[in-house]
Amino acid sequence: MLTIPTSHGLILAGIIFVLGLVCVLVRRNIIFILLGLEIMFNAVGLAFVVAGAKWGQADGQIMFLFILTTTAAEVSIGLALVFKMVHHFHTLDIDQADRMKG
Amino acid sequence: MTNVVFYIAAAVAVLSTLMVITRMNAVHALLYLIVSLQAVALIFFLLGAPFAAALEIIIYAGAIMILFVFVIMMLNLGPPAIAKERLLLKPRMWVGPAVLAAVLLSELFYILANKGGIAGIVEVTPKAVGLVLFGPYVLGVELSSFLLLAGLVGAFHLARQE
Amino acid sequence: MEFVGYIPLLPFAGFLVLALGAQRLTRPLVGVVGVGSIGASALLSALTAAGLLKRLPGETAFTKTLWTWIDTGGLHLDMAFYIDSLTVVMMLVITFVGFFIHLYSTGYMAEDKDYARFFACMNLFVSAMLVLVMAENLPLLYLGWEGVGLCSYLLIGFWYTDKANGYAARKAFVVTRVGDTAMAVGLFLLYNHLGTLSIQPTMIKASSLWPHGSGTLTLATLLLLGGAVGKSAQLPLQTWLPDAMAGPTPVSALIHAATMVTAGVYLIARTHVLFMLSPLAMTVTAMIGAATLLIAGFSALCQHDIKRVLAYSTISQLGYMFLALGVGAWSAAVFHLVTHAFFKALLFLAAGAVIHALHGEQDMFRMGGLKNRLPLTFWTFLAGAASLAALPLVTAGFYSKDMIIWEAYASPLGGYGFWLAAMAGALVTSLYTSRMVILTFFGTVKTPVHHPPGLSMTLPLSVLAVLSLTAGFMETPHTLGGVHIFSGLLHYALPETKIVQSRITLEILFQILAATTAVGGIVWAFFLYKPQPEPAPSRLPKSIDRFLFSGWGFDGLYDRVFVRPYLALAHLDKNDIIDRFYLALSQASLGCNRIFSLTQNGRLRTYVWGMGIGAAVVIFMAVTL
């Protein structure tokens, strides 16, 4: 049985992170932007856990926990903003909301 | 053999993430994202982090994704939404995520049957995580609670109708 | 006499109330505050006058120090008021005439939307004018001096939505500023040599420090004269006053006839010791006065706008006062100031009543026939006009002007030249006055009367008409009773005019001549402008008429000599290399602004791109370096 190199785990995290970033950059639907953010958060969490597993320490998982907390807070605010935006602009297109004082 | 399991899970994660960002429909994207999260959870499990894996499923795939579903459902009210939903339930909509999920499930069974993580990786038990979390990281826990409270208040304030 | 501080303070308080509470006060309340504060101030002035009279002759003046104003280095200035008979006369004129003009304004301005602003400015003006005449030291006088200038500016441009009014206000401000600057330099010079600026010590020190006709003193005095010339619209700074008629008519009456423009006369009378030490300054003053009274008088003869006639007439009458000051006829100058304040305020107010009744019509050639339509206005206007034309025996103007004409000849500094100028001026005065009366009130009706003036307007007219006719009786030449109440009072503050003995035999002859001139002018005017359906605009050749109409072309001259070269210079200066550099700088920063504002397009995705690229660069650097 071969062990998995840590670098492979980190590469996976990197791929997922870049996919999330591409989602944020390319999509105009605000729901997809939030999903992209989720993907990126998740990728970062993965990187932490991989690193924690390399040393056999709990710290990686704890950082993942904190990221989870942050994500939860971020999503709740983000979705509330989506509500506001739909209420105000009647669209989910983020490029429509480009004025300072809507 | 678990190495292969890792790479298959990784492939599932990347594939489903790709599907997420290319979907036009938010509900489909969510389905694929849940599969992606499950794949990552499986990888956590493989890496000897069962606690993180459980949280990934419960909080990410469970709670946070549910929030998204709520919001999407609330934005699509009325009769057109019902027609849309009928469309969503067509097989070609759910067959992709289902196949990927099935792959992951079989992998999980395989691991459980072989009782093994990846060789050379020490399992960090939930107990160990808990001890460190409420030991050196207790300040971080407090800060997280602040953050969650702020998120709660902020979301309440923003979503209120004037 | 503890209350003299309240005399300028009350109008100032009125100003504050009106300026700060303009939105909340009702119109009647605005009127009560605006008129009441001046009325109270007038009563206190009267009490002050009574108090001073009681102390005479033992105590000719008293000083009331309120607080230390400036105390720095060697300069010590008090917020102090100096009250003597000259001050009291000025105070009474300002507050009483001011009170009646304020009362009149409640009727005249009744329909104006900026009612409160008008009274706020008027109150501030009265306050500043009182500070001017009551000031114990020259800087305090200067404070009042600039204060009245400011109010003049604000009130000329009162109807600021019309660009021409704003232009007239700026013109008045800038032209008087020329004189004010000269005056400020004069004050610096006096302080530099004397070390004090309190008026009385300054005069005492000056007479002990400088010999008769000293060069420095003459320079300082001429600079003070410059200030007086600017404020009193004398040659060569007279051009602002006719344009100042753009303001509401009560403003013209109060500021540009009765009080502010006489500040120059007051200044010279107040610092008469300095002037008497400098024969050159005296001669210059007299010559300026004589020239101004003739030039302005001839200009008044060709005006069409009734207010402009009165404006030129004011300049001309101020010229008489300067002539009187220049020949040392101090009391005569101040006496004419007082009677002029009465009859010119009356004429302006009556003209205002006419304009008001004709809905803003100011051209005399479109008036006419108002004698029967506005009888009270006509009779009061006639009283003022008679006083201005110096109708013998029954008018105040006769006594004051006669005093000037006589002393222009008989005083040691006077002579035939000045006397002739004054006589010619008297003839012109009665000519243009009669022309104005005939054009306005006789002949056929050309513009219908909209609404006759109400009580708030007719009452001041009547009171001022009575004063215009009777105020002269407090000072008559000794050939006509020899009453000397006014000069007797003033001699506690101003020196008596010595009459050259050898000339005294001519007095009666000269008086008869003066009276004949005045009456002759009126009669001549009736032949020239006799009531007819369509009066000819002028009997003079067209070119001369235009020349006089434009005020002897001073505006055009100044435009060519000062304004245009200045504008050309400014234009040159605006485009020189330094300005170009700064222009380039500003344009470069504008360009940068445009580039950077492109990044702030409000699109979230652009920002994410920026962050992503930035993070990539940082990571790249962290990895490679």
A49-80 tens-digit pLDDT: 998 888 888 888 999 999 999 999 999 898 88
- Which residues in C lie closer than 8 A to residue A97 (C-beta atoms)? 602, 604
**DSSP, residue by residue, C104-135:** HHHHHTTT-TTHHHHHHHHHHHHHHHHHHHHB
Nearest residue in C to A27, CA atom = C605
CA nearest to C330, candidates C495, C128, C106, C136: C495
Residue B111 Rama label (left phi>0; alpha psi -120 to 50; beta)? alpha
Give the pLDDT confidence score for residue C535 in this predicted structure: 60
DSSP summary character for residue C78: E
Helix (DSSP H) and strand (DSSP E) numbers for chain B:
8, 0
Using 50, 70 and 90 to split pLDDT, how confident is the model at C182?
very high
Residue C204 has pLDDT above 70, yes or no: yes
Residue range C376-388: mean pLDDT, rounded = 89
Give the pLDDT confidence score for residue C147 in this predicted structure: 92
Residue range C30-55: mean pLDDT, rounded = 90
Give the pLDDT confidence score for residue B158 in this predicted structure: 84
Residue A2 has pLDDT above 50, yes or no: no
Using 50, 70 and 90 to split pLDDT, how confident is the model at C143?
very high
- Which residues in A lie closer than 8 A to residue B70 (C-beta atoms)? 79
Nearest residue in C to A21, CA atom = C612
Q: How far is C558 from chain A (nearest CA, A)?
A: 53
Q: How far is A100 from chain C (nearest CA, A)?
A: 7
Contact C602 A100 (CB under 8 A): yes
Q: Please indicate if any CB of chain A lies within 8 Å of the CB of B153.
A: no
Q: Which residue out of C603, C607, C609, C611 would a mutagenesis test of the A interface target, given it has the greatest number of A Cβ atoms within 10 Å?
A: C603
Using 50, 70 and 90 to split pLDDT, how confident is the model at C112?
confident
The full 3-state SS of C43-72, as one line of letters, equals: HHHHHHHHHHHHHCCCCCEEEEEEEEEEEE
Q: How far is A30 from chain C (nearest CA, A)?
A: 10
Phi, psi of A80 (to 5 degrees): -60, -40
Give the pLDDT confidence score for residue B120 in this predicted structure: 62
Give the pLDDT confidence score for residue C42 in this predicted structure: 92
CA nearest to B26, candidates C58, A38, C485: A38
> What span, in angstroms and rounded, lies between the C-alpha atoms of C453 and C357?
7
Using 50, 70 and 90 to split pLDDT, how confident is the model at B139?
very high
Give the pLDDT confidence score for residue A17 in this predicted structure: 93
Partner A, chain B 82-101, Cβ-Cβ below 8 Å = none
Using DSSP's 3-state secondary structure scheme, residue C3 falls into helix
Whether C15 and C103 have beta carbons less than 8 Å apart is answered as no
Direct distance between the N- and C-terminal alpha carbons of chain A, in angstroms, rounded to an integer: 60
Q: Do chains C and A touch, with touching meaning 3 or more CB–CB pairs less than 8 Å apart?
A: yes
Give the pLDDT confidence score for residue B109 in this predicted structure: 84
Nearest residue in B to A50, CA atom = B47
Q: Please indicate if any CB of chain A lies within 8 Å of the CB of C598.
A: no
Q: Please indicate if any CB of chain A lies within 8 Å of the CB of B69.
A: no
Dump pLDDT digits (tens) for C267-292.
999 988 888 888 888 899 999 999 99
Peptide bond into C236 cis (omega under 30): yes
Range among C276-290, C357-371, C448-462 with highest mean pLDDT value = C276-290
> What span, in angstroms and rounded, lies between the C-alpha atoms of A32 and C583?
48
The rounded percent of chain C whose pLDDT value lies above 70 is 98
Q: Does domain A10-94 have CATH number 1.10.287.3510?
A: yes
- Which residues in B lie closer than 8 A to residue A80 (C-beta atoms)? 154-159
CA nearest to C429, candidates C393, C398, C399: C398
Residue range A32-61: mean pLDDT, rounded = 90
Using 50, 70 and 90 to split pLDDT, how confident is the model at B115?
low
Dump pLDDT digits (tens) for C67-81.
888 888 878 888 889
> What span, in angstroms and rounded, lies between the C-alpha atoms of C520 and C431?
9
Touching subunits for chain C (3+ Cβ pairs under 8 A): A
Q: Which range is least confidently modeled, B64-78, B97-111, C424-438? A: B64-78
Dump pLDDT digits (tens) for C208-242.
888 887 888 899 999 999 999 999 888 888 888 88
Point out the residue among A9, A72, A81 whose CB comes nearest to the CB of B158.
A81
Dump pLDDT digits (tens) for C297-323.
888 888 888 888 899 999 999 999 999
Contact A69 B144 (CB under 8 A): yes
Q: Please indicate if any CB of chain A lies within 8 Å of the CB of C516.
A: no
Q: Which residue out of B16, B30, B44, B76 would a mutagenesis test of the A interface target, given it has the greatest number of A Cβ atoms within 10 Å?
A: B44
The rounded percent of chain C whose pLDDT value lies above 90 is 22
> What span, in angstroms and rounded, lies between the C-alpha atoms of B96 and B89?
13
Contact B158 A77 (CB under 8 A): yes
Dump pLDDT digits (tens) for C337-356.
999 999 999 999 998 888 88
Q: How far is C597 from chain A (nearest CA, A)?
A: 13
Residue range C349-365: mean pLDDT, rounded = 84
Give the pLDDT confidence score for residue C266 in this predicted structure: 92
Give the pLDDT confidence score for residue B99 in this predicted structure: 87
Point out the residue among B3, B128, B151 whose CB comes nearest to the CB of A72.
B151
Residue A99 has pLDDT above 70, yes or no: no
